[in-house]
């Protein structure tokens, strides 16, 4: 019998993504290079050039065109992939709406990088938090293993006929994208059995021409389509949970649910994090527990659809909850804080604080998390900037 895992290799997050794309038997790839995403598409271009991956690689002049190309190829029935980062994904913003509105089940990998000015290529999640309202599902990875698995899982979820919305999976610049760690490479056969071929009910067809997204007046089904997208997004929560446990069974994998609850059962104080910074937070939780403080952590694996009910269940009985935000929003609290508070409003009586951390790649250390927990114990309400103005 063939093993479920083909092999175990040391690889960077970007290599892991490229391998996930190869395992998904993607037919069309189009992307424009941007640090720190570049090595994803370099790796894929190499796979296509040496015949390892039977796929068409379209070179384009911009990110806007990259996404436009893969929207078209996806809608013609060929599984397609693109990847970007930072200013690249901002440039894609218009087509992000087109991809979801046309119900193109794409997967795009985004390496989270700061937004200028001033220019900065290091890790921060503002680029994708800015895209939360575009109708894409969002997955934030904590490890290179998740970076590979979320590509396969992403296609499975996106192509589900009652969801049919695109998925972006995120990895932190350099911390994951350019750092090597052991990754189980899923077997090609199992991946193919799991994913199958792309099957769309509607597709671009020369023999039966149709218009995608043509002009509609106020009385046309415009509003109905937007409502349908929102319903699909909400209803996907149940399906995603089923697909994750299906994935874990098939690949003997260890993906969490939409959230990962870490030492939450009897916790008094907890933080909510996304992405690779969660690992340092987990270390701190263990450390503080050894000192007698009952701490815990909720990691958001999915950010859209927002797992509000899962968070509500996990935070009951907490004395303090801190939402850690590696992005910045101006004129209001951070987006994760607002989503959390709106999920808890009127249902859980937990004081919630907001922490802004690690912008432009600033390091987030154990002592920073300790400070957050200390702050949670002492006060409630308000927003706090962590490790700012400290030299």
Partner 1 sequence: MVIVPVAYLPTSSKELSSWRTSRPVIDYSKCTRCAICWKFCPDVAIDLSPDPSLSAPNDRFKALEAPRIDYDHCKGCGICAEECPFDAIAMVEEE
Tokens of 325: 């935000």
Query: Distance (Å, rounded) from C-alpha 229 to C-alpha 105?
Result: 13
Identify the helix (H) or strand (E) that includes residue 294. none
Write out the binding residues for partner 1, residues 214-243 only, by CB under 8 A: 214-215, 221, 224-225, 228-229, 232
State in angstroms the smallest separation of the CB of 78 from partner 1. Answer: 17
Among residues 9, 59, 116, 161, which is the contact residue for partner 1, using CB under 8 A? 161
Exposed, middle or buried by CB within 10 Å (0-12, 13-18, 19+), for 23? buried
Identify the helix (H) or strand (E) that includes residue 47. helix 38-49
Query: Distance (Å, rounded) from C-alpha 156 to C-alpha 83?
Result: 18
CB nearer to partner 1: pick between 235 and 342: 235
State in angstroms the smallest separation of the CB of 187 from partner 1. Answer: 32
Stretch that binds partner 1, among 31-39, 77-85, 182-190, 202-210 (CB under 8 A): 202-210
Report the SS3 class of residue 80: strand
CB nearer to partner 1: pick between 100 and 175: 100
Binding status of residue 164 toward partner 1 by CB under 8 A: yes
Among residues 51, 117, 118, 213, which is the contact residue for partner 1, using CB under 8 A? 213
Binding status of residue 77 toward partner 1 by CB under 8 A: no
Query: Distance (Å, rounded) from C-alpha 365 to C-alpha 344?
Result: 29
Contacts of 221 (CB under 8 A, 6+ apart): none
State in angstroms the smallest separation of the CB of 33 from partner 1. Answer: 31
Binding status of residue 3 toward partner 1 by CB under 8 A: no
Among residues 1, 3, 61, 208, which is the contact residue for partner 1, using CB under 8 A? 208
Query: Distance (Å, rounded) from C-alpha 290 to C-alpha 284?
Result: 10
Binding status of residue 103 toward partner 1 by CB under 8 A: yes
Binding status of residue 57 toward partner 1 by CB under 8 A: no
CB count within 10 Å of CB 76 equals 15
The residues binding partner 1 (CB under 8 A) are 101-103, 161-164, 201-202, 208-215, 221, 224-225, 228-229, 232
């Amino acid at each position: 019998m063939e093993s479920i895992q083909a092999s175990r290799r040391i690889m960077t997050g970007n290599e892991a993504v490229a391998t996930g794309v190869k395992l998904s038997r993607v037919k069309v790839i189009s992307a424009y290079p941007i640090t720190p995403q570049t090595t994803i598409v370099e790796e894929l271009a190499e796979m296509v050039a040496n015949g390892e991956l039977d796929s068409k690689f379209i070179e384009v002049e911009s990110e806007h065109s990259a996404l436009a190309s893969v929207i078209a190829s996806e809608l013609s029935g060929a599984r397609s992939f693109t990847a970007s980062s930072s200013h690249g994904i901002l440039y894609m913003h218009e087509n992000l709406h087109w991809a979801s509105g046309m119900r193109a089940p794409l997967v795009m990998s985004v390496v989270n990088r700061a937004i200028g000015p001033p220019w900065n290529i290091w890790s921060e999640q503002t680029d994708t938090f800015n895209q939360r309202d575009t109708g894409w599902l969002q997955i934030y990875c904590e490890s290179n293993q998740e970076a590979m698995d979320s590509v396969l899982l992403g296609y499975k979820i996106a192509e589900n006929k009652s969801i049919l919305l695109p998925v972006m999976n995120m990895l932190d610049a350099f911390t994951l994208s350019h750092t090597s760690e052991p990754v189980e490479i899923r077997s090609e056969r199992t991946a193919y059995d799991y994913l199958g071929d792309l099957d769309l009910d509607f597709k671009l067809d020369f023999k039966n021409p149709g218009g995608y997204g043509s002009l509609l007046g106020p009385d046309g089904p415009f509003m109905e389509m937007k409502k349908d997208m929102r319903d699909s997004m909400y209803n996907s929560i149940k399906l995603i949970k089923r697909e994750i446990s299906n994935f874990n069974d098939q690949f003997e994998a260890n993906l969490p649910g939409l959230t990962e609850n870490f030492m939450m059962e009897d916790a008094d104080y907890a933080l909510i994090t996304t992405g690779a910074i969660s690992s340092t937070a987990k270390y701190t939780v263990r450390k503080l527990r050894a000192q007698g403080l009952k701490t815990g952590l909720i990691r958001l694996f999915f950010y859209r659809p927002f797992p509000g009910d899962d968070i509500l269940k996990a935070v009951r009985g907490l004395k303090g909850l801190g939402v850690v935000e590696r992005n910045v929003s101006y004129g209001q609290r951070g987006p994760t804080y607002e989503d959390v508070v709106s999920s808890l409003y009127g249902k859980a009586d937990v004081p919630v604080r907001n922490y802004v951390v690690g912008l432009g790649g600033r390091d987030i250390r154990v002592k920073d998390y300790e400070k957050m927990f200390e702050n949670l114990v002492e006060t409630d309400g308000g927003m706090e900037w962590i490790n700012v103005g400290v030299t």
